[in-house]
């Protein structure tokens, strides 16, 4: 009768706790429990203290297994004659349980446990009692965070062996802490680039792009530098390999773009040189498109005339440096 009342009281206590959102039971996690409380044998022994240490594994949020070792002490004999001293008894209990968790999407997680085990009872008078056992329990875990939880449990132990008129059985009530050791939870990665969404500064990166630690496509670039004869806008054959190298870059890197800049030396009028620089830039653009099938949408051309010299226009060598088409071509790197 006493154990039934305790079970009902514990069940009412479990069901009365509020449900607080935040899933805490982690699948594929180990958990260590340290417990202490009281045990209430049904017949010949008085109540005593009990401590225990358990190690378990959660296969899923709901299902797990657990091994527990308990030591109960200060269990005095009942109904001892007045002229005799009650003898203490100690109980060593090992049990192996299955455990099922309810409401795993909350901090407060009730559970039911069922298992088998063995016990050894030792008395001051040399009595020795051993038996296989079965046990069933009801309890809850309240998670303060993903690692530490308060744990309380009511567990009923029943020994199979009957020795004369003695069979050990009775409930225990224990409380303590559970420490959960979970594998790191995989983080969401919507674009599949290997960087968690919470850390991804460039969400939506297309598949195949090489990325940096922030989840952003790695930018790469290449330069072009072509020289022209005086008053000419024809790409000389000696620059074919240079243009082909740029074409391969543009075709290999998605999203690559280019602005081709044309320049002249200072001889001639400003108006004429501006038009000449436009023709030079356009000549390189057309060369890329016609000879190497570069997408024309990737390339724009612009002329700056004589307004941006890189060398002096007072010497022939300096003017030759200024008669040029240059460009910086940028794109994103991809895995081959």
Task: Give tens-digit pLDDT for 177-201.
Answer: 999 987 766 678 777 777 888 788 8
Spatial separation of the C-alpha atoms in residues 69 and 307, rounded to whole Å? 88
Q: pLDDT grade, residue 80 (50/70/90)?
A: low
pTM of the model: 0.50
Spatial separation of the C-alpha atoms in residues 119 and 100, rounded to whole Å? 24
Question: How far is residue 250 from each of residues 84, 280, 327, 329, 333, measured CA to CA in Å?
Answer: 101, 20, 12, 8, 11
Question: How far is residue 208 from each of residues 24, 140, 253, 336, measured CA to CA in Å?
Answer: 35, 48, 11, 8
Q: What is the DSSP-derived secondary structure letter of residue 321? A: H
* pLDDT exceeds 90 at position 330: no
Q: Which residue has the tokens 């060369």?
A: 287
Three-class SS of residue 77? strand
Give me the pLDDT at residue 258, please.
82
The answer for residues whose C-beta is within 8 angstroms of residue 153's C-beta and 6 or more apart is 35, 113, 137, 138, 139, 173, 174, 175
Give the chain's domains with CATH numbers: 2-182 (2.40.160.20), 219-332 (3.30.1330.60)
Phi, psi of 37 (to 5 degrees): 175, -140
Q: What is the DSSP-derived secondary structure letter of residue 74? A: E
Q: Other C-beta atoms within 10 Å of 88: how many? A: 17
* pLDDT exceeds 80 at position 209: no
Nearest to 135 by CA among 159, 115, 110: 115
* pLDDT exceeds 70 at position 12: no
């Amino acid at each position: 009768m006493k154990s039934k009342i305790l079970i009902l009281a514990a069940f009412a206590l479990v069901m009365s706790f509020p449900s607080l959102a935040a899933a805490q039971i982690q699948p594929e996690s180990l958990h260590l429990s340290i417990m202490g409380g009281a045990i209430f044998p049904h017949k010949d022994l008085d109540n005593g203290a009990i401590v225990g240490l358990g190690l378990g594994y959660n296969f899923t949020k709901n299902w797990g297994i657990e091994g527990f070792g308990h030591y109960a002490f200060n269990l005095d004999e009942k109904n001892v004659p007045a002229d005799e001293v009650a003898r203490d008894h100690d109980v060593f209990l090992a049990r192996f349980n299955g455990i099922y968790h309810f409401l795993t999407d909350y901090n407060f997680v009730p559970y039911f446990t069922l298992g088998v085990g063995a016990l050894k009872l030792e008395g001051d008078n040399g009595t020795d009692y051993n038996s296989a056992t079965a046990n069933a329990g009801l309890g809850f875990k309240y998670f303060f965070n993903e690692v530490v939880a308060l744990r309380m449990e009511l567990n009923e132990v029943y020994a199979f062996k009957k020795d004369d008129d003695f069979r050990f059985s009775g409930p225990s009530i224990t409380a303590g802490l559970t420490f959960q050791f979970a594998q790191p939870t995989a983080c969401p990665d919507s674009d599949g680039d290997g960087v968690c969404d919470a850390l991804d500064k460039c969400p939506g990166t297309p598949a195949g792009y090489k990325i940096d630690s922030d989840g952003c496509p790695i930018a790469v670039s290449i330069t072009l530098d072509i020289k022209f004869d005086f008053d000419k806008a024809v790409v000389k054959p000696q620059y074919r390999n240079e243009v082909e190298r740029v074409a391969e870059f543009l075709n290999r890197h998605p999203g690559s773009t280019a602005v081709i800049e044309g320049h002249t030396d200072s001889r001639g009028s400003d108006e004429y040189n501006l038009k000449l620089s436009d023709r030079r830039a356009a000549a390189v653009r057309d060369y890329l498109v016609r000879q190497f099938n570069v997408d024309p949408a990737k390339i724009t051309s612009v002329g700056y005339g004589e307004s941006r010299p890189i060398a002096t226009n007072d010497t022939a060598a300096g003017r030759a440096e200024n008669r040029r088409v240059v460009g910086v071509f940028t794109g994103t790197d991809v895995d081959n």
